Amino acid sequence: MKNTFKRLTAALFSAAVAASLGMSSIPASYAEGETYSIPVSKATNDEATHEYVAYQVFTGTLATISGEKKLTEIQWGSGVNSTSLLTALTSSTKFGSTNPFSSCTTAAEVALVIESFTKNSPEANAFADIVSANLSTTSYSLSTQKVPGAGYYFVKDTITEKPSTNSQYAFSDHILSVVTDHDLDTIKAKTDVPYIDKKIGTDYASGKNTNTASIGDKVPFVLESSVPDMSAYNDYYFIINDTMSQGLTFNNDVTITVGSYTLTSGTDYEVLTTGVSPYTFQIVFKDFYEQLYQMGTEDPNDDGGHIGETITVKYSATLNEKADLSSAGNPNKVDLTFSNNPNHQYNGGDKPTGDEKNNTDVIGKTPESTTKTFTTGLKLIKKDATTKAALKGAKFKITGEGVKAVLINDKIYKEAADGTYYMLKDGTFTDEASTETTASKYDSTTVKYKLISSVTHDTATTTESVNQTAYSDANGFISFTGLKEGTYTISELAAPDGYNKLSENITIVISSALDDTAQTCTWNAKKGSDNISNKNNLFTFDVENNKGMTLPGTGGMGTTIFYVVGGMLVAGALVLLIVKKRMNIKER
């Protein structure tokens, strides 16, 4: 059950108000007239500058009772408007059906009532709320001033300087503190600033900030956060914002666990992919306060069921044909939107609404956590071995552990029975079927291809690829882009007309050196023992072909003369044979 009371999120010390012989007292160990400090520390990941201001609620006279110094003759302190505070307490409906302050008329009687309140109880929270609304102008800045002695103090948090680049901070709830010692221990401001961090991998502990991938590869991501202390809040927003570069396609396969508990999509959270600009998607936790602050507790009033437990979020993206081959890589960024002011009454629901949306005094945001995926490519330049002129029409095939897709002319085509495109011999594609006059221009008049704008759902294994073959264009170029580190074999399936096909395959080894801290990638590629230079983010090298050999003729005119002479001799022999036969006939 959602707690309807404002939570007291700082120390209500156990040395609370006590009663003795009809007089309320607070333990103290001060000499009268002395002043003392109340040190307060903020959350370690809070990037704002805080100012903590103390208001004296009760004061009194030091006395030794049963060997212990206590504060007696309790009076209203200088930090509250006593008349309005007493009226607010006695008429309040925040304490349930029976108001324990209804008959109080003095500070001592009020102190006697709050002695029975436990830390962070609804009654203690309600008391703090009423005090906060009835403060005087007398206060003490704890960064520069000391409080005027023993007493019961209300400490208010204000933020004097916010971070310039994010909203990584949270306000502390009102603090009630009993000053009991010269060397008072530092009070930890009751403010829990959540964090979020992203890694590439399936396990956060072993995850990395960078990786390499080929087009079509699925890149796994894992996020880590924790359930914050929400004891001071009436409600709490917890929204993960993810921004993927255009080279990554979100697979919408989110899973979330909190400790050992698995959340249910649609019930405990929802993934939004539309209307979430400038983000790619948002993961919105539903009823976050109730589900994660109170869930798992048998008693609905026993709060804090999962505070501090690890939140693990997993999902993936596929590197697509728009992948950036440059040193910028393909970043994926995430941040977290959260409630940051326990002194604010939130509107409720799962996302900020109305004036809460852009109000950094009630809505915080963590710094971005970024990962990067890098990819590269190869470029062949087909040339005449002698003239170095570009050769068009050479057909190549690439295979390798990293090949899943080949980017040809900035588009990906995949062989498919239901495709509508045909490959031409110049390496381009057309959606026009061949005719009797155009058939000679087609690589095949029956094999069809499909144009793929994204390979998100491609199921090719690491030994398969999308359109593994390509032809060199008019400039002799063939590009195989979107490759990760690995060993690749390039074979020539057909040489240009009049040229001999390569007799041996070309082996290319691509390697990478990732700097996980700087999030950079240094690529290297070799053909045999030779390094390949990188030009415009593609490792570029020449592939040369020799012209085919024509067997030479001999004897000036070559073999032609023999055919001519032979023909004449045959013809002459026929003529002689016919003449001879005729002469024989005449003789008879």
Could you tell me which residue, 171 or 9, shows the higher pLDDT? 171
User: How much is the average pLDDT of 108-134?
Assistant: 83
pTM value is: 0.67
The token duo for 141 is: 């800045």
The token duo for 177 is: 């503190």
Among the listed ranges 79-83, 189-193, 272-276, 482-486, which one has the minimum average pLDDT value? 189-193
Could you tell me which residue, 541 or 179, shows the higher pLDDT? 541
pLDDT for the residue 354: 86
Residues in the chain: 588
The token duo for 467 is: 């359109």
Could you tell me which residue, 49 or 214, shows the higher pLDDT? 214
pLDDT for the residue 156: 81
The CATH number that domain 376-545 falls under is 2.60.40.10
Q: Rounded to an integer, what distance in angstroms lies between the CA atom of residue 425 and that of residue 471?
A: 7
Could you tell me which residue, 35 or 280, shows the higher pLDDT? 280
pLDDT for the residue 457: 29
Owner of token pair 């401001």? 189
pLDDT for the residue 541: 95
Q: Rounded to an integer, what distance in angstroms lies between the CA atom of residue 185 and that of residue 183?
A: 6
Paired strand residues for 54: 140, 155
Q: Rounded to an integer, what distance in angstroms lies between the CA atom of residue 106 and that of residue 76?
A: 8
Cβ–Cβ < 8 Å for 263, 269? yes
Could you tell me which residue, 524 or 142, shows the higher pLDDT? 524
pLDDT in tens, 142-192: 777 777 777 788 888 777 776 666 555 555 555 555 554 444 444 455 556
pLDDT for the residue 102: 94
Owner of token pair 């326990």? 342
pLDDT for the residue 182: 41
Residue 228 CB: number of other CB atoms within 10 A?
A: 25
Domain locations in the chain?
18-188, 197-372, 376-545
Could you tell me which residue, 67 or 249, shows the higher pLDDT? 249
The token duo for 74 is: 């309790």
Phi, psi of 207 (to 5 degrees): -70, 160
Q: Is the dihedral of CA 472, 473, 477, 481 positive or negative?
A: negative
Tell me if domain 197-372 and domain 376-545 are identical in fold: yes
pLDDT for the residue 48: 72
> Residue 226's closest CA among 298, 292, 301, 279?
292
Q: Is the dihedral of CA 340, 343, 349, 352 positive or negative?
A: negative
pLDDT for the residue 167: 58
pLDDT for the residue 147: 77
What's the mean per-residue pLDDT of the chain? 77
Statement: residue 120 has pLDDT above 70: no
pLDDT in tens, 357-415: 888 888 888 888 999 999 999 999 999 999 999 998 888 888 776 544 333 333 556 67
The token duo for 301 is: 């009033």
Quickly list DSSP for 158-203. Answer: EEEE--SS-B---PPPPEEEEE--TTPPPEEPS------EEEESSS
Could you tell me which residue, 121 or 500, shows the higher pLDDT? 500
Please state which of the four CATH numbers 2.60.40.740, 1.10.10.10, 2.40.160.20, 2.40.40.20 is assigned to the domain occupying 197-372.
Answer: 2.60.40.740
pLDDT band of 59, cuts 50, 70, 90: confident
Q: Are strands 255-258 and 248-250 parallel, antiparallel or unpaired?
A: unpaired
The DSSP symbol for 433 reads P
Among the listed ranges 448-457, 461-470, 483-492, 518-527, which one has the minimum average pLDDT value? 461-470
User: How much is the average pLDDT of 1-23?
Assistant: 28
User: How much is the average pLDDT of 520-535?
Assistant: 94
Statement: residue 549 has pLDDT above 50: yes
The DSSP symbol for 93 reads S
